Structure 1
Amino acid sequence: MYRLAFLVRVPSVACVIGIAVAAIWPAGISHGDTSQSSYHYSCDQDSLTADFVARDALPQTQVPPDHWYQTNADGHYINQGWGPAADALPAPEVPTNAGCDASTWKRERILAVAMRYINNPDNPLGLQYRHHHIPGWNPATSTYAAAAEENPDVDAPDKTIEWAAGPGLDCSNFTAWVYNYGLGIKFSGDVHQQFAGTAGPMGQAISRDGPFQPGDLIFLHPNGNTNEASHVVIFIDDQHIIDSRVNAQNLVGIQIRNREGWYRTAVLSAYRPIG
């Protein structure tokens, strides 16, 4: 059986993210903390992360770096600010020293990858919410996102806007990147396609009532429209998810959040890419 336990460790930066930490999170939960030592995994922890340095060295995209930041006559990035599309990364092998079965390792691997990007001031990999495809896309100026309809989640505008400078991922590009980086499972970052199961190898469809397993992708809509998803999160356990939002529960960007309120009532369905 898969179990994920949390140690009590609330870093000082939590006060920067939100002073109402104790009121938001149950006892024992440390949010905004990127240290993998804060989490108890059933698999050998080093087996989950040992290849991160090597995978960080892989090209995130096939687009040549000198083409990433080209602009049009209006000064807008010619790719409309989304940045280059992600390349398909190779699938890792389950280490022989994993200390758990292959399916459990893959689920915990997804959580370990997702938590690398928690938006913490002390975390150089931390990401905010941006309409970008890869975490390496780091524009020095505002990005022109003229394709808001691609991912109309709860934080997306109804019209074109400019995102602030810097790296980030929106909800479905975050889920796509985590699976691509973590397991070499490549599907598109379009939330509509993910919800429909047409984005790529999305795996097994799960009903809105679950039961869910760690790493499952849960789709939601703020208006309860069962025909269209507007947001996607990664399931951790019955009380927690990790996702990318502009700001939710007083937390900015990619964060572990409580699975309560809208996160629980607006569930449409889920997919389980891990067999």
Structure 2
Amino acid sequence: MSCRPLSNRMLDLYQGAACDRVERTPRRVILAGLAGLAAAFTTRASGAQTVGEAAPVTVGPDYLSPYSLAFSIDTTLLNTGFDRAPWNDPDAEAAESVPAWETAYRGARGAAWGPPARQYPQPTLARQDEDYRRQRVISVAARHIGLPYQHHHVPSWGPPAGWPWLPVEAGSNGPGLDCSNFVSFAYNYALGLKLPTGIALQGHTVDLPGPGDVGVLRARRIDVRRYDDLRAVLAPADLLYIRNRQDRVSHVVMWLGVVGQSPTATPLILDCTQTLHRDASGATIPIGVRLRPFREDGWYWRRFSHAHRLIGAEVVMRPGTVDPLPEGDDQA
């Protein structure tokens, strides 16, 4: 179903974690901030459409985005199963007990990344169609709008005071994710599809563990060199990989397609970055997880490498296993 950009059918998702902190913020407090968006949802049925609605709110700095999301599927359906374990437990985001991990790895190489994310089980979905699964992934990703940019694996981890830190533009350590951990966590939590979180490896890996680490999923790689052709071929929740000045994959964004609503009809992406971009009104978009424009004259398109599709008829599932995929960036 298409979703017309009418104001009473818009879902403005701008509530996230209040993550400014001096000392450690409890994980449950952080999750409560992230989940505030879901609690703000109301639903409205109109004709064949049922969509979620929420009033726009500011997050962090005084910034109100001109962009919004419009889901054509009831958010209660998109959230099916999230009230059950392990999805409803912030302490279960990590692959092992966080206190035990911190005790074992304090001072170890790679400790700055924090505990690795768990492999979520294959969920029982309300529907199996492609549109439902794509919107479910986007709705999970949108829960984290406002989350800062940090080199961490799970969104709710609050590093203890004095914990090793990979410096970022946020200026201090705290909860957050980077680009590749952000999209991996969204797919993992929504569908049980856990991606490698080192950006270079993620960008070049097409054989992935299937949902719940069962079977092998072969993603479709999309190579398109014209802007209009790319817009035409992409589907919501596709992942777009971006090159740096050395022509290496260094960033990933999530394509929103018809779910993203812009006053200028510019296509939108959802990503976690510490690079500053401007929105449709010319305002600077804060760093972290935000809705951003994918303009033909913008950095994202100019440095576009390729895309991966993880949902769709052309995505192949087969029996078997893949070798364990490492967490994080080997160079960090």
Q: Same fold (TM over 0.5)?
A: yes
Once residues 247 and 4 of structure 1 are traced to their aligned partners in structure 2, the CA distance between those partners, rounded to angstroms, is 31
Q: CA RMSD in A?
A: 3.0
**Contact kept? 2:80, 2:125, Cα under 8 Å:** no
Q: Which residue matches 2:326? A: none
Q: Give the 5 Å matches for 1:115-154.
A: 115-119=142-146, 127-141=147-161, 143-145=163-165
| 1:236 correspondence with 2:256 | yes
Counterpart amino acid of residue 130 in structure 1: Q
Normalised by the length of structure 1, the TM-score is: 0.73
Residue equivalent to 1:254? 289
Distance in 1 between residues matched to 2:4 and 2:306, nearest whole Å: 23
Shift of 1:198: 5.2
Over 3 Å counting, the alpha-carbon distance change for 1:12 and 1:132 in structure 2 is closer
2:236 is aligned with what amino acid?
P
- State the SS of the aligned residue for 2:111: coil
Q: Structure 1 residues 245 and 51, CA, compared in 2 at 3 Å: closer, same or farther?
A: same
- Is residue 116 of structure 2 the alignment partner of residue 81 of structure 1? no
CA apart distance, 1:134: 1.1
Call closer, same or farther: CA 1:15–1:166 in 2, change over 3 Å: closer
Name the amino acid aligned to 1:204: R
State the secondary structure of the residue aligned to 2:132: helix
Secondary structure of the 1:205 match is strand
The whole-number CA distance in structure 2 between the counterparts of 1:4 and 1:224 is: 41
Q: 203-212 or 81-90, which moves further after superposition?
A: 203-212
- What are the ranges of 5 or more consecutive residues in structure 1 without an aligned counterpart? 31-38, 120-126, 149-154, 157-161
Partner of 2:245, secondary structure, is coil
* Counterpart selection for 1:68 from 101, 120, 129: 101
In 1, Cα distance between equivalents of 2:11 and 2:184: 30
Residues 123-152 of structure 1: CA distance to partner in whole angstroms, max 9, x if unpaired?
xxxx21111111132113354246x9xxxx
Partner of residue 272, structure 1: 309
Cα distance in structure 2, aligned partners of 1:8 and 1:65: 34
* Alignment partners' CA distance in 2, 1:171 and 1:88: 18
CA distance in 2 between counterparts of 1:14 and 1:66 reads 29
TM-superposed CA distance for 1:108, in Å, is: 0.3
Task: Give the Cα separation in 2 of the matches to 1:202 and 1:170.
Answer: 24
1:49 CA drift (Å): 1.2
Quickly say closer, same or farther: Cα 1:3–1:219, change in 2 above 3 A. Answer: farther
Equivalent pair of 1:4/1:41 in contact (CA under 8 Å): no
Give yes or no for contact 1:132–1:173 (8 Å, CA) kept in 2. yes
* Distance across 2 between alignment mates of 1:135 and 1:190: 16
Q: Which runs of 5+ in 2 are unaligned?
A: 13-54, 209-216, 258-265, 278-284, 313-332
TM-score w.r.t. the length of structure 2 is 0.62
1:189 aligns to what SS in structure 2? coil
